[in-house]
Amino acid sequence: MSQSPKTLIAGNWKMNGLTKDLAQFEAVVTALNEKPAPDCQVLLCPPVTILAGASQICQNSALQTGAQNTHVAESGAHTGDIGATMLRDAGADFIIVGHSERRADHQETDGVVNAKARSCLNAGLIPIICVGETHAERTSGLALTVVEHQLNGSVPDFDEGQEIVIAYEPVWAIGTGLVPDTNDITNMHAAIREWLVTRFGERGKGVRILYGGSLKPSNAAEILPIPNVNGGLIGGASLKSEDFLGIVYTV
Ligand code: PGA
């Protein structure tokens, strides 16, 4: 993997989106066709109900699709669950794992997140592994410690030829309009890079570290150029193609 990885702009639609909203995928595909963003890999993760439809729209385009969660097992007696191979079959290239909303809503521990990330790798998919501190942890000066602890528990080993992505998302910045100041993002991303290089050596330099939490067209030009910020994970501003493309075209 190259030492300065390509910027990844990834949208996370969360529990939003009906069939009619596939029009947003069509709009992004058309825009990227007409005005390519060659320095940027572009990904949208819709709810699983429209993943296959979205992936069909994205075929042979510069827009890729991903999922927001996976079961740890490939298949089996797990009513209502979906495994990584099934998500790949529906067209996913990436799967978000360990988002703070899943850690909170479904009590996902670092161990579970680690197992989910491994199941993505086993299915030939790229896990986007989310970490981030709460507001209380940030104000008590524990942000770096908490994130390091999450990385230790959540990030699996990966082989040559496989890829992982880390997303740093301060919980207090998600959906709130609040963002950490530039210095705090710089320091956290540098610490995550150091952790990756300590753990994986040279390969750790090629792992992309995304920033997520209230990233918008209006702040993207300030946040995305920060050293070791290799892209963004975007919730609210990924739902409308104009906002999402506004971020893509700042890269
Ligand atoms: P937000 O969400 O951009 O709406 O803050 C980011 C995320 O949760 O991935």
- Closest atom, ligand 1, to C-alpha of 233: 9
pLDDT digits (tens, 9 = 90+) for 177-234: 999 999 999 999 999 999 999 999 999 999 999 999 999 999 999 999 999 999 999 9
Intervals of the chain under pLDDT 50: 1-2
CA of 134 to the centre of ligand 1 (A): 14
CB contact at 8 A, 1 and 206: yes
> Facing residues of 45 across strands?
12
What pLDDT score was predicted for residue 66?
Answer: 98
CB within 8 A of 159, min separation 6: which ones? Answer: 121
Q: Whose CA is nearest to atom 6 of ligand 1?
A: 235
Ligand 1, CB cutoff 6 Å, lining residues: 12, 169, 174-175, 212-215, 233-237
For 29-67, give one letter per residue: b (16+ CB within 10 A) or e: bebbeeeebeebbbbbbbbbebbebbbebbeeebbbbbb
In this prediction the pTM is 0.98
- What pLDDT was estimated at residue 4? 73
**Closest ligand 1 atom to 234 CA:** 3
Task: Report all structural domains of the chain as residue ranges with CATH numbers, in order of start.
Answer: 7-248 (3.20.20.70)
β-bridge pairing 63-67 and 94-97: parallel
CA 224 to chain centre: 14
- Cα–Cα dist 124/95, whole Å: 11
What pLDDT was estimated at residue 1? 43
Question: At 211, is the secondary structure helix, strand, or coil?
Answer: strand
Most informative mutation of 8, 12, 97 for ligand 1 (most atoms within 8 A of CB):
12
* C-alpha–C-alpha distance, residues 87 and 93, integer Å: 8
pLDDT at 240: 98
Sign for the pseudo-dihedral over CA of 134, 217, 245, 188: negative
pLDDT of residue 3: 53
Active site residues: 99, 169
Q: How many CB atoms lie within 10 A of CB 141?
A: 8
Residue of the nearest CA to atom 3 in ligand 1?
235
Fill in the DSSP letter of residue 192.
H
Atom number of ligand 1 nearest to Cα 173: 5
CA nearest to 10, candidates 233, 240, 175: 233
